[in-house]
Chain A
Amino acid sequence: MNTSTEQPGISRRQLLRCGLLGTLVLATAGGIASVTRTLRSGPGTGYRQLRESHIPMLRRIIPVILDGALPAGEADATVQAVLDGLDRSLDHLSPAMRSQSLQLFDLLSLDLTRGAATGIWRSWENATSEQVANFLSRWEHSRLALFRQGYGALNQAILLVWYGQPLAWAHCGYPGPPRF
């Protein structure tokens, strides 16, 4: 099992700083999220809940979480299908759970918080798969319960949406529901 301190290229001191910054960031994430929400014009084009700023972040995270499960050669279409599914899930969540999820996405995507929370200091568009995997692993083993919780939430939301749709079924040998 990797622990966060064993991640290549990140010193213990850097991590500690990240941890402390992360705490501060999380403490104010709700506030930041609500401020930014009022500044921005609601959901992104074509979405009911996801914000424009969430899309580049999710486009990088989805293929890493679903690594090995996405059909070859159709990456764009499948990632888009997951985005649409996530949006639909968010649209049906209770307001409390939806707002928690959107705050998590804000924390990951906003310039103000992204670097400290994820270690990805440049934009999501430029993040390599390795950097994304490192961030996920760091969250998985973080001392901060909120990061560990966020890691689980990201995984489960994306896995449920992906495997719930027909595009995913060839990979897992599921012929789909019987027809009658």
Chain B
Amino acid sequence: MLIPDLFRHGLERGWQVQNASQLVEDLTLEADIAIVGSGAGGATSAEILSAAGFRVLLIEEGGLFTSSDFRMQENEAYPTLYQEGLGRLSKDGAITILQGRAVGGTTLVNWTSSFRTPDQTLAHWASEHGVVGHDSRSMAPWFERMEQRLGVERWAAEPNANNDVLRRGCEELGLHWAVIPRNVRGCWNLGYCGLGCPTNAKQSMLVTCIPAMLDQGGSLLYLARADRLLLAGDRVAGIECVAMDERCVAPTGRRVRVRARHYILAGGAINSPALLMRSEAPDPHHLLGKRTFLHLTSFSWAQFDHLINPFYGAPQSIYSDHFQWRDGVTGPMGYKLEVPPMQPGFSATVLGEPGTPGAGLMEQLPNSNMLLALLRDGFHPDSASGTVTLRGDGSPVLDYQLTDYTREGLRRSYLSMAEIQFAAGAKLVKTVHRDATPARNMAQAREIIEQLPLERYRALLGSAHVMGGCPMGEDPQHAVTDSLGRHHQLENLSIHDGSLFPTSIGANPQLSIYGLTAKLASLLAERLA
């Protein structure tokens, strides 16, 4: 069956799209508004600002891949669609960080879970971080607008058997669970959201806001890395971009200089603060790149007697917030429970177990389930947080060290996940930790988990949600931008991405980014008019 490739059709209609890797000479581009990054924040802003009549230029470091490129193959998708070719890790290599890098950013490869920013998080930002105007009531219409724009609805079909483990386990134990809202239209329930949607059902930026912006006369430049902002006093005078080769690994030597009236950074946490650091942007209170959060993610593997085929079907459709707010917003670490899609490369790597024990577990993949816990970092003073630094070549890296507070949360998350898996009928649970042997029942699992040394490299950890590093807030001593994303020191610069968040979100962050940046872009359009 032939699926129409919406983006390629648009290109044939004459969209202004330029591949910087093919430049034979340097280039200067002008626009009313230049936006760095084509993910959730950048593309949402681009659509709104171009609809308001501004000439928008969207600049993307990664390549352009469209539905006919998405063949549901892990070994094709990971090197091309993820930051650093899936090589992004915390500085000490202990945490794998999944962030997208392509036209559409992480929205191209996320698992479609779409939650509004929790009320507790918004209230905490107002009371503790000087954020004004973003309380739940003021934000609700913006979330609603983006939910409609991107087809966000609770998943109406049955959850796949992998998600059903979470539902049945919670049901059995009397814990909270609910159905996840997803940004899809006409979803085929295939399960390959993380490798690029082959049917254009996922309402990623590639098939929504970017086409809309291009239809409105905006332009897109890809395989162009924003290297530095050119500063003149308290203004941005331009952006110096380097053209990247087709792999997005090495600069080609060509440069693109961009001039605009207003500039928006939307490269995401890690990349946005790094661009400001490379540009030696004013940072009088040393805030850039600090307080970067990950929703540090722990995993628990289980085996069942029945067939689960955890690599097929909508990857995330059930969640549990039972442990998220139970002990207070600033109490012991809360976490959200979900499941990941379990294609074999991802599964084996998360498990990280070599030799016959790992092979034995992988042999049972069709009967396996994995739960994950997203640990809500940044709400408690003792919570771990990361710091972005620049390597010698100017590329960013995140230093993120565990704390005792975070370790306590990790251990509880392992216990919660094992308990749910056994309640759902697991015959074996293996905490994803190098020292954890498989347990046959909860008593055994508890004994194992309570002994685990929660050191780096022993606990196998990941993150797909990088947030913070350019926090918003009214007080310049504690925030890089004001609550509207306007840089406190640079007049014509805004930040519209997840780096604005003063803490982690406590839910998969994409809708938080859409809703907030839709609001910030709309207000910016009014100011610039």
Q: Residues on A close to B: CB < 8 A?
A: 1, 64-69, 85, 88-89, 91-98, 133, 136, 140, 145, 148-149, 151-153, 155-156, 158-165, 168-169, 171-174, 177-178, 180
Of all A-B residue pairs in the complex, the 4 with the closest CB atoms, nearest first, are: A68-B359, A92-B85, A92-B79, A177-B72
Provide the bound-state CA to CA distance between A67 and B360, in Å.
10
Further pairs besides A177-B72, A178-B72: 20, Cβ < 8 Å: A65-B355, A67-B359, A68-B355, A68-B356, A69-B362, A89-B86, A91-B79, A92-B249, A94-B85, A98-B249, A155-B353, A156-B96, A159-B351, A160-B348, A163-B344, A173-B363, A173-B364, A174-B365, A177-B192, A180-B1
Asked if B89 is at the interface (CB within 8 A of a chain A CB), the reply is yes
Asked if B397 is at the interface (CB within 8 A of a chain A CB), the reply is yes
Asked if B328 is at the interface (CB within 8 A of a chain A CB), the reply is no
Provide the bound-state CA to CA distance between A126 and B84, in Å.
35
Provide the bound-state CA to CA distance between A92 and B86, in Å.
9
Interface size on B, residues (CB 8 A): 57
Docked-complex contact B457 and A171, CB < 8 angstroms? no
Q: Which of B88, B96, B349 has the most CB of A within 10 A?
A: B349
Provide the bound-state CA to CA distance between A148 and B457, in Å.
7
Looking at the complex, which one of A85, A96, A172 makes contact with B75 (CB distance below 8 Å)?
Answer: A85
Within 8 A of A (CB), among B191-247: 192, 247
Q: Residues on B close to A: CB < 8 A?
A: 1, 71-75, 78-80, 83-89, 92-94, 96, 190, 192, 247, 249-250, 311-312, 343-349, 351-356, 358-360, 362-366, 391, 393, 395, 397, 434-435, 456-457, 460
Docked-complex contact A162 and B249, CB < 8 angstroms? no
Closest B residue by C-beta to A1:
B435
With contacts A92-B79, A152-B352 taken as known, whether A171 is within 8 angstroms of B363 at the C-beta atoms is yes
Contacts of B391 in A (CB 8 A): 96
Looking at the complex, which one of A92, A149, A173 makes contact with B457 (CB distance below 8 Å)?
Answer: A149
Contacts of A153 in B (CB 8 A): 93
Contacts of B358 in A (CB 8 A): 68-69, 159
Looking at the complex, which one of B88, B192, B352, B359 makes contact with A69 (CB distance below 8 Å)?
Answer: B359
Provide the bound-state CA to CA distance between A178 and B1, in Å.
12
Contacts of A174 in B (CB 8 A): 311, 343-344, 365-366
